[in-house]
């Protein structure tokens, strides 16, 4: 499961940052998740709970911020909103579209102690 390894990556970052920013517990994590990242949110929450167990982020609240998909159409040159990967350009119906946002998964903010 893809979400499980994403959460493992997040916990790894939290543990690295704990040394740098000197905190010992993470109370909440705001994660930016692009809608084109192919992440199942339910499964992400479930994985987060499982992966953080026994770590400094155990019991932390997970706040998910959805990032809309955007792409530049290489046919008409417009930047368009893209809700599904591999959809044609909503303006001209053309291809290809170069995704400019909506694929990210990153930690936006932390609440720590």
Binders in 77-96 for Zn ion, by CB under 5 A: 89, 91-92, 94
Q: Is 76 in the site for Zn ion (CB under 5 A)?
A: yes
Q: Is 7 annotated as a binding residue?
A: no
Q: Which phi and psi angles does 30 have, rounded to 5°?
A: -100, 120
Of 18-26, 30-38, 54-62, 69-77: span binding Zn ion (CB under 5 A): 69-77
CB closer to Zn ion, 59 vs 94: 94
Distance CA 56, CA 58 (A): 6
Nearest residue to 110 (alpha-carbon basis) of 46, 6, 17, 35: 17
- Residue numbering of the annotated binding site for Zn(2+): 73, 76, 89, 92
């Amino acid at each position: 499961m893809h979400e499980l390894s994403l959460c493992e990556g997040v916990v790894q970052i939290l543990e690295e940052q704990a040394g740098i920013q000197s905190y010992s517990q993470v109370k909440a994590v705001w994660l930016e998740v692009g809608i084109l990242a192919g992440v199942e949110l339910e499964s992400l929450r479930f994985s987060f709970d499982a992966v953080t167990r026994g770590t400094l982020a155990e019991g932390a609240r997970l706040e998910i911020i959805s990032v809309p998909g955007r792409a530049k159409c290489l046919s008409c040159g417009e930047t368009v909103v893209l809700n599904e990967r591999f959809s044609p350009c909503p303006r001209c119906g053309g291809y290809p579209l170069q995704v400019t946002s909506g694929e990210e998964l990153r930690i936006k903010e932390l609440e720590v102690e």
